[in-house]
Structure 1
Amino acid sequence: MLPRLPLWILCAFALSACSVFETREPLAEPEIKIVKEIVVKEVPQECPICAALPERPDKANALKSCEPIQAKPKKPTQKKGPVTTTRLPIIGEVEWVSINQKAHRFKARIDTGAATSSIHAEDIKLFERDGRTWAAFNIKPHRSKNSVRIKAPVVRKVSIKQHDRNSDRRHVVELTLMMGNIEMRTEVNLNDRSEFVYPLLIGRSFLEGHAVVDTSQRFMMLD
């Protein structure tokens, strides 16, 4: 049995124990800094070139489809009239041609290979009138029993070369010829066409710019 120690000894012992075993402070918890992550969302800048470009077709069409449909205004009806055309009349290889405003009619051969027109003339006489040379000659219209005397101013003389023949000098006069609605004053040379079927030949000087020839047709122009 242990002896009882005095109270003062026990107190001293207790104080010494406290000095030996120091109370340690609890370990401080490490300071944790919470850093909030800030997410910066990049906003793409608008391209100046793309902004200048037109909208896509599908987008434009989508916008158009939303727009209200407006009725188109009706165009004023035009009255139908005669159709005008600038086409030249078509003539055949043989046509009716009149001299001096239908006074004398002839069956005429159309020949685009001839430069000027030619008519069968008889009893050719030259004379002077007002300082110009004129020619008086006889022509015989279609189904006429008698010849008709014609007077016309002489424009010039031409030399016509023919196959197997010598050059032929002819007088060229001015006559007014009419074929359907075509009427003009043109040059016609006086010639002996007794060997030909048609006493009158129409050449390019009368045809050019006035008619188109279809050699497979005849008498296409209304007389």
Structure 2
Amino acid sequence: MKHPIEIIGATDMVDLPELGWFMVPVRVDSGATTSSIHCSKVKLITEDNETVLRFYLDARRGAPPQSFTVKNFKETIVRNSSGKEEKRYVIKTSIKIFGRKIRTEFTLANRKKMSYPILLGRKLLKGRFIVDVAQKDLSVNRSKNKISPESLTDKARL
């Protein structure tokens, strides 16, 4: 079943159920390709003769105060907000927003100086959301924000 396109604001709240982190504030950034999540102590370790990735989430913002270890990850090069290229690890996990559970990729980044521990990028937004930067935290009232293709044409006439 295809979900309707939702209007999402510049900020919102999400759940990361696989990581046990709920009501996490996020910033929507249509200029970013991939979503990112604030992590610390990100490092490769060997466990049972296998290389795994270990990291910690932002416990000060409600994340579980424990390490997470994943076997399925990849490395990528991204251009950060300063325009510099940096190597980051990428994990897949589920995000819950507007009552929908979406499996997506997150780069693990140091967002300690940023206001929001999670940034939602275009790969997650495309085909699912229309961004209205004048709005915020719309998932709380999700039933009011569903739009249909017909309503898009009505709005275009205004």
Instruction: Output the TM-score relative to the length of structure 2.
Output: 0.74
Q: What is the aligned counterpart of 2:85 among 167, 174, 182? A: 167
Matched, 1:104 2:21: yes
Matched, 1:148 2:73: no
Greater RCO, 1 or 2 (C-alpha within 8 Å, sep 6+): 2
Aligned twin of 1:197: 115
Unpaired segments of 5 or more residues in structure 1? 1-84
Provide the aligned length of Structure 1 versus Structure 2.
Answer: 139
Aligned twin of 1:53: none
Residue 173 of structure 1 aligns with an amino acid whose one-letter code is: I
CA offsets 1:38-66 (integer angstroms, 9 cap, x no match): xxxxxxxxxxxxxxxxxxxxxxxxxxxxx
Unpaired segments of 5 or more residues in structure 2? 142-158
Identity, in percent, stands at 26
In the aligned structure 2, how far is the partner of 1:134 from the partner of 1:212? 36
Change in CA separation of 1:145 and 1:222 when aligned onto 2, cut-off 3 Å = closer
Aligned twin of 1:181: 99
The higher radius of gyration belongs to 1
For residues 60-79 of structure 1, the aligned pairs below 5 Å read none
Q: How many angstroms does 1:146 deviate by?
A: 6.3
Aligned twin of 1:90: 7
Contact 1:153 1:174 in 2 (8 A): no
Contact 1:153 1:173 in 2 (8 A): no
Larger fraction in strand: 2
Contact 2:53 2:73 in 1 (8 A): no
Contact 2:21 2:63 in 1 (8 A): no
Q: How many angstroms does 1:180 deviate by?
A: 2.1
In the aligned structure 1, how far is the partner of 2:64 from the partner of 2:73? 27
Q: How many angstroms does 1:155 deviate by?
A: 3.3
Change in CA separation of 1:127 and 1:179 when aligned onto 2, cut-off 3 Å = same
Contact 1:133 1:154 in 2 (8 A): no
SS at match of 2:139: coil
Q: How many angstroms does 1:174 deviate by?
A: 0.8
